Each structure stands twice: as C-alpha cells, then as structure tokens.
Amino acid sequence: MPSDLRTILKLEVPIIVVLGERLMRAREVVSLIPGAIIELPKKAEDELTLLVNNRAVGTGYAVKVGENFGIRLTYIGDIKQRIAALGTPAESPEPDPAETPEPALAGQP
C-alpha cells in the first residue's frame, strides 16, 4: 500500500447520523427555552442517514450500545462514494423559505 494512501486512511473525518431535519423561523429559534421540544417529521422507527464529511453515504437504524447510541447500517455506498465523501465537505443547499409553510412548535396551537 503506498505511503500516501496510508497517510490518507489515518485522517479523521466527521461522521454525523441525522435523526431528522425541519425548518424553523428565526423567531422560533430565538424563543427556544430549556425543556422545549422540537418535533421532527420522522417516525422513531424510520431509517437514519449516515453522513461522512457532510455527504450521505449510508442509512441504518438507531441501536443502543451499552449506555450509548449507535447506528446499525442497512446500506452503505460503494467504496467510490465513501472515498469521494472524504474530499471537501458538501455544501448544504439553502432551502427556499417561500416554499415551506411555517411549522408550529410542539405544545403551541
């Protein structure tokens, strides 16, 4: 194995498991307080998305590992996808607020 490849494979990259996503208005975000609940539009039994360096590379289900959470992978992209994810982080697309209805906060009418 070439030494360049060995060096690259030693790099640490951010791994993120996405539980869910939603849009909130800035006024809702600034009014959050401890104890507030933010409802996510995803069922507890739905698959989670695995991101490497902000790029989706797999999916799986939440599991408990001792006292910690983990993810049991049900799909992982091919090696080319995973290597591509090790490059520069993917830019998150900016959602168009005009296309998204204003979500209600949990506990509010």
Residue 25 lies in a domain: no
Q: What is the CATH number of the domain that holds 14?
A: 2.30.330.10
Residue 49 lies in a domain: yes
Asked if residue 106 belongs to a domain, the reply is: no
- Please list the residues that pair with 17 across neighbouring strands: 50
* Pairwise pLDDT comparison (73 vs 90), residue with the higher score: 73
Whether 103 shows a pLDDT value over 60: the answer reads no
pTM exceeding the 0.75 threshold for the entire prediction: no
> Does residue 48 lie in a domain region?
yes
Question: pLDDT (tens digit, 9 = 90+) per residue, 27-84?
Answer: 999 999 999 999 999 998 999 999 998 999 999 999 999 999 999 999 998 888 888 8
Judge whether 95 lies within some domain.
no
pLDDT at 4 over 80: no
Residue 26 confidence (pLDDT)? 97
Residue 99 lies in a domain: no
When divided into structural domains, the chain yields a total of 1
Specify the pLDDT at position 109. Answer: 44
For 59, the domain range is 3-20+38-90
Q: What is the pLDDT of residue 79?
A: 87
Residue 59 near residue 73, CB atoms below 8 Å: yes
